[in-house]
């Protein structure tokens, strides 16, 4: 059985749904979303190298995560199930649907899943840092207390004036170690290979082309630091490379708040329900 740690939200007899978090995130990113789906049994794993799965060996790319999730669903006798993925998790959802279409009944991509524009002049060895940008400093930093890490997120451009109890819990869950030497569970090593698959790997392009399920992609108009443009500026409503992907803009959110705070979480939950009909 898979060694992934899984956070569960909702009733045991609810409809099982697989939720896949982003590249340096953890399962608690889904708390606000889950609250809008009280009848759903949301299964939110910590991907290997993150959260409570941080001690598992780093992945060799996003297909490793997809294999982990297939093992999880098989072990629990689940499938096909609806799948929702945020950021890198949306890429993993595509990989899972391609490798094991028998396990996926529908899916929703949240600000991810389509190849990111590759920065010019950046080698494969530099891609992890290009993806992380200012996030890299957080991964390398020590925090003297849990409150100090909460303050980091409280002051983050994405959450200024919008810090919630969900975000406080997310921050607490993300820490490992002891005061005054607390660090985030995710490390640069954990995400290095994953970052390479975000820019149009051959397998990912082929998987997008083979998709048969409708694949709505909810797009945030602002990015990781609340900057205009977001991850997908200029991407058309029906982008090339993926015949079943349809881009839908979510107003007045950034890459984080589209999922982790309201009203973004409620909009994503409504869009998720629409994928079931």
Prediction pTM value: 0.96
Residue 12 reports pLDDT greater than 70: yes
Residue 63 reports pLDDT greater than 90: yes
pLDDT of residue 2: 62
CATH superfamily of 6-123+193-274: Alpha/Beta hydrolase fold, catalytic domain (3.40.50.1820)
Domain residue extents for the chain: 6-123+193-274
Q: How far is residue 137's CA from residue 140's CA, in Å, rounded to a whole number?
A: 5
Q: How confident is the model at residue 182 (pLDDT cuts 50, 70, 90)?
A: very high
Residue 203 reports pLDDT greater than 80: yes
Count of other CB atoms within 10 angstroms of residue 202:
7
CA distances from 27 to 24, 44, 210 (A): 11, 5, 28
Cβ(101)–Cβ(107) under 8 Å? no
Cβ(4)–Cβ(27) under 8 Å? no
Residue 146 reports pLDDT greater than 70: yes
């Amino acid at each position: 059985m898979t060694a992934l740690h899984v956070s569960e939200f909702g009733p045991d007899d609810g409809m099982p749904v697989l939720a896949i978090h982003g590249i340096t995130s953890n399962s608690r990113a889904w708390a606000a979303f889950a609250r809008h789906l009280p009848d759903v049994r949301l299964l939110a794993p910590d991907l290997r190298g993150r959260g409570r799965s941080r001690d598992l060996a780093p992945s060799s790319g996003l297909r490793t995560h997809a294999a982990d999730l297939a093992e999880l669903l098989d072990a629990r006798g689940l499938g096909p199930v609806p799948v929702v993925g945020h950021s890198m998790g949306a890429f993993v959802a595509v990989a899972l649907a391609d490798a094991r279409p028998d396990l996926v009944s529908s899916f929703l991509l949240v600000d991810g899943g389509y190849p990111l524009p590759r920065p010019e002049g950046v080698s494969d060895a530099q891609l992890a840092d290009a993806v992380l940008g200012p996030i890299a400093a957080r991964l390398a930093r020590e925090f003297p207390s849990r409150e100090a890490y909460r303050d980091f997120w409280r002051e983050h451009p994405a959450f200024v004036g919008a810090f919630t109890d969900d975000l406080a819990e997310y921050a607490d869950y993300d820490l490992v170690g002891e005061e005054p030497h607390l660090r985030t569970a995710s490390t640069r090593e954990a995400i290095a290979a994953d970052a390479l698959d975000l820019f149009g790997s051959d397998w990912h392009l082929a998987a997008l082309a083979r998709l048969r399920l409708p694949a709505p992609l909810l797009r945030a108009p602002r990015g990781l630091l609340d900057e205009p443009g977001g991850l997908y500026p200029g991407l058309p409503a029906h982008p090339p490379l993926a015949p079943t992907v349809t881009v839908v803009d979510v107003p007045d959110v950034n890459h984080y708040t589209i999922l982790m705070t309201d009203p973004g979480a409620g909009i994503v939950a409504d869009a998720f329900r629409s994928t079931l009909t």
